[in-house]
Chain A
């Protein structure tokens, strides 16, 4: 089957993504720059303590960072630089923003990846089981716990895990050890609590989505056809029902990735002291380090947009009926 329309569609979506990213960039820029704070603020105490003239010093610092110019000029400068691949200079860490992101993204990535895998794998399995056993004790139990899972504040869960497993039982360190090599058992062990913290809410969500998507399809006529062929129940559920349930499931999972994962990962990184982009952005906000704030927001946005696009494309292969115009 030809997918020739797909290329045009992707182009359109990419242009659309750029427009949205530009919108978000602008909003963030305005928010950061109209704020009543300036990059010089953090030096004020030092300047005053050093007996210098505060106004003069502030002006000097602002000139140094280019924030004394009219906001429109700053905006134009920033956009121009961005297009040349220059994301700006991080005041608070004294390095180019691109450098900063290069060193830190991997920590966010490993956390989100492991949590998603953990949550999706278990969540889908439990969801399928729950749907197949609808209205049994097992189903009720899983449903109840999925409610618990989506209701438990993940930052609190993180603290409770630290309290029980680190403080009381001493099984894990309370803080993520940044000196560990990335691909090592120790690193995996250090990530156990963070992954549970971030993954539990996702897991609970996946259980619920999978269950309802499976239930939507379990009573369809084609399932009876599959059984009438003499297929074992494993194939009926795993192939015929699940392939159909997968479609809505993928949309929801991808959709959630944007909000739950980024919000949740942010907090999880802060609780466990994981130096990922969430932590970086968090520190940058408090340090008024606006190029970093904008950059991280932008990266988050791009990932969401990209994931949405990939979802749509995957969809066309999973659901032959789909055609975007």
Chain B
């Protein structure tokens, strides 16, 4: 257990809306091991982002609420601890990098202000020390003339620069855990490659456990150690990345892999899994994937599949393996 830095068990986060209860996260289990990069993978709406937000309770509340489960970190249950305790962890022990750097930075505050603010909150540094730290962080992220950038406003930076600033900000207090919510989605291919490089370097240089959220299996293959595949607010398959890619068990995982654009084959269209993501208010009974599953059986419509451990490092929730 010492090896585990964060453990999420049976997490359920629901949103009470006018139209009904949205069960965005409805029973997710995984553990994050020290120093690893764990990927949460799934289509949009599968609950991966809400899972990430739930760890620091950052979703809007109301309407959102953690209705069950545990998030154990450092002897604390983050799902139930007081907000005061949680605030000391936010940004210090567990930091998060958001998807769209464009909107994640406050447009009317300077870059320096936004980062220094966080450092001064958590570390016993005075302003000039915090400033120096910020400058070195920014240069470490490959931002040229970091000193000048301190007085810049977000709109003066390019998309890639903003994303780096966000990463620098999240690392500013030496967190134990970094949660990255699709940091490569809103940027173009070159910047995506650069950002992935940064994550590679981070892995090498810091003792950082990362939760990397993405819908892109190619990214997973590049930087992930293990992956949790999510569908309909649940984790459906968990395994090391090589296992996931080479030996997917869940039909949904297989579907995702088939959809990967294959450079060797001259595919004239991007494949995608047929059907649409389920309505989170009325999840299909039984296995949530059954309306889209090519291998669906009768039992799939009636019973929720149990979690099956197929090998020491591989578990899957699917009736095919019972």
Contact = CB atoms under 8 A, between A and B. Distances in A.
B260 interface: no
Nearest to A241: B106
Contacts of B105: 222, 225
Nearest to A319: B108
A247 B89 CA distance: 32
B22 to A, nearest CB: 16
Interface stretch (B92-100, B233-241, B303-311): B92-100
A229 B90 contact: yes
B155 A321 contact: yes
B103 A221 contact: yes
Contacts, number: 75
Given A318-B108, A320-B108, A231 B121 contact: yes
Contacts of A36: none
Interface string B68-79: 000000000000
Interface in A242-301: 243-244, 247
Give the one of B58, B108, B117, B155 with max A CB within 10 A: B108
A219 B107 contact: no
B316 to A, nearest CB: 32
Contact of B122 (A1, A230, A232): A230
Chain A contact-residue range equals: 20 to 34
A231 B89 contact: no
A318 B153 CA distance: 11
B207 interface: no
| Main SS at interface, chain A | helix
Contacts of B60: 219
Contact of A222 (B58, B107, B151): B107
A219 to B, nearest CB: 7
B50 interface: no
A220 interface: yes
B254 interface: no
A225 B88 CA distance: 15
Contacts of A229: 90-91, 117-118, 121, 169
B24 to A, nearest CB: 15
B67 interface: no
Contacts of B90: 227-230
Contacts of B109: 239-240, 243
B87 interface: yes
Interface string A216-238: 00011110111111111000000
B129 interface: no
Interface string A197-224: 0000000000000000000000111101
Contacts of A227: 56, 58, 90
B193 interface: no
A181 B311 CA distance: 90
A247 B98 contact: no
B125 interface: no
Given A224-B98, A321-B155, A230 B108 contact: no
Interface in A131-170: none
B106 A321 contact: no
Given A229-B121, A230-B89, A230-B91, A222 B155 contact: no
B153 A228 contact: no
A88 B108 CA distance: 48
B98 A221 contact: yes
B153 A320 contact: yes
B104 interface: yes
Give the one of A219, A226, A228, A232 with max B CB within 10 A: A228
Contacts of A321: 107, 153, 155
A244 B117 CA distance: 17
Given A225-B105, A225-B166, A227-B90, 7 more contacts: A224-B98, A225-B169, A228-B56, A229-B121, A229-B169, A320-B107, A320-B153
25 contacts: A220-B103, A221-B100, A221-B103, A222-B107, A224-B98, A224-B104, A225-B104, A225-B106, A225-B166, A228-B58, A228-B96, A229-B117, A229-B169, A230-B121, A230-B122, A231-B87, A232-B87, A240-B106, A243-B108, A244-B108, A318-B108, A319-B107, A320-B153, A320-B155, A320-B156
Interface of A: 1, 219-222, 224-232, 239-240, 243-244, 247, 318-321
Q: When A and B form their complex, which 10 residue pairs have the shortest distance between CB atoms, in order from nearest?
A: A230-B90, A230-B91, A229-B91, A320-B153, A221-B103, A222-B106, A229-B118, A230-B87, A228-B96, A221-B104
